[in-house]
Amino acid sequence: MNAVQIVLLIGEFLFLATALFLLGNEIYRLFFSKTSREANGERNSLHTYNPLTSLPDRARLEDQLHDSIEQAAHSNAQLAVIFLGIDNFQRINDTRGHRFGDELLDAVGGRLMQSMGENDSIGRFSGDEFLLVLADIEDRLDIPCRMSKVESLFDAPFFIRGIPIYLTASMGIVRFPEDGRSSQELLKKANMAMHQAKEAGKNRYLPYQESMQHEIERKYMLENELRHALDRNELQLHYQPQFETATGSIRGFEALVRWIHPVMGAISPAEFIPIAEDSGLIVPIGRWVLREACLKNKQIQALYFPKSVMSVNISAVQLLSGGFTEMVAGVLHETGLSPASLEIELTESMPITSFDSAIPLLETLSGWGIKLSLDDFGTGYSSLSYLKRLPFHTLKIDKMFIQDIAKETGGSAITEALITLVHQLGMAVIAEGIENDEQLRCLKKWNCDCVQGYLLGRPVPFAEVPGLFQVKA
């Protein structure tokens, strides 16, 4: 074989090898790209349906809402978007476990599907929140009818592992195109309305209103300002006297926190205390309040009344935040106040589950000699049988029971019976909200132990406390 033949043979071999390489590459591309597309499709399928409820997840919901908006805009139709959150769902996870909670969410999702029309959409948005997109809304009256159907789904209990669980839901509603034209805008406003429904007391639905945006913005602004209130010395305590009903002498004081902002002026505790609780700021604020109140009571005892008791309101968030008893012990040691001169008030609006968690802490405080008071009695969750388990020394009757006691109404009989019952439980009674002489006369007749209210003394700064010792009930 000569040199020319060898060169030609090598050329043919290279051509054949190149052809085989290209053919193999094409086969690889065709086969594996198909496999890859199938795998991606499976992954996309997994990521577009919530594995717990088999409902569309957030990503798919947003796509469906976008498509529904386009269709409604094209046909000049209306939509309603509902953001639904289960009320107090965390309690179920805490008491029965997350797997039980997961089964319950699956049952909720299945029941919500029953309220959906053919063109509606539903999915699990996140956690205990669901999103419902209602199509074919003809007019404003159509929404309450649809909402009533959704609400009725929570009338019957959900049976999980044979256990009946009663649930309520808070819902926020927006309409397309009235409240927004994009999916993100509608979702934002529906979520905002849902949270407003929760803050308004839960178990209700609220349509979105422009004022909600202003309320949210104010809340965030106040939270930011509240973070600096302690450092800027904007917080102060006012002291309202409490009187022994039988003698008319001062028993002690209730310390009430006030926020005086340099620009906005006085901000109501009813507004900033919930913000402090939600943000966790109640913990440092509460410690400051306790320390300041104990310091001032030491001064009151030294200058005016050695037996003065200082009552301080404590939030459930503060009580259960961890290290509460250690904090109280540290403040008492630092200020030198006797435990018997401190009264800690807890509001009855605390859920029963919170009291369950707090009982060991309350028993520790009581064992030190600290007085424990249940505030706003008669307005919250506690049952009379449950009070036997709570180590309280004093119950404060809410002013709503005091307003009309001078009249011959059922309210006066209830208040009198309540005082008798509390005494039989071995506790003292403080009535708050005393505004006239007739109310005071009735409470004296019924042997109420202590009273406080504007008739006897308004909350005042510490500099005005000396003048209160000239007042008698």
Q: Per DSSP, what are the bridge partners of residue 371?
A: 343
pLDDT tens string, the chain, 473 residues long: the values are 554 455 445 555 544 555 454 445 444 343 433 343 343 344 344 457 777 777 888 888 889 899 999 999 998 889 999 999 999 898 898 888 999 999 999 999 999 988 788 888 899 998 899 999 998 787 777 888 888 889 999 999 999 999 999 999 999 999 999 999 999 999 999 999 999 999 888 999 999 998 898 888 899 999 999 999 999 999 999 999 999 999 999 999 999 999 999 999 999 999 999 999 989 999 999 999 999 999 999 999 999 999 999 999 998 889 988 899 999 999 999 999 999 999 999 876 665 556 677 889 999 999 999 999 998 776 655 556 567 778 899 999 888 888 878 776 666 888 898 899 899 989 999 999 999 999 999 999 999 999 999 999 999 999 999 988 876 66
**Positive or negative, the Cα torsion across 102, 105, 111, 113?**
negative
pTM for the model: 0.71
> Who contacts 240 (Cβ-Cβ below 8 Å, separation ≥6)?
253, 254, 256, 452, 457, 458, 459, 460
Helix axes 210-226, 183-199, angle to 10 degrees: 70
Dihedral over alpha carbons 12, 13, 15, 17 (to 10 degrees): 160
Contact 396, 419 (CB under 8 A): no
Contact 131, 68 (CB under 8 A): no
> Who contacts 335 (Cβ-Cβ below 8 Å, separation ≥6)?
291, 294, 295, 298
Helix axes 58-75, 183-199, angle to 10 degrees: 110
Q: What is the pLDDT of residue 388?
A: 75
Q: What is the pLDDT of residue 43?
A: 36
CA 275 to chain centre: 10
Judge residue 288's burial from the number of C-beta atoms within 10 Å of its C-beta, 0-12 exposed, 13-18 middle, 19 or more buried: middle
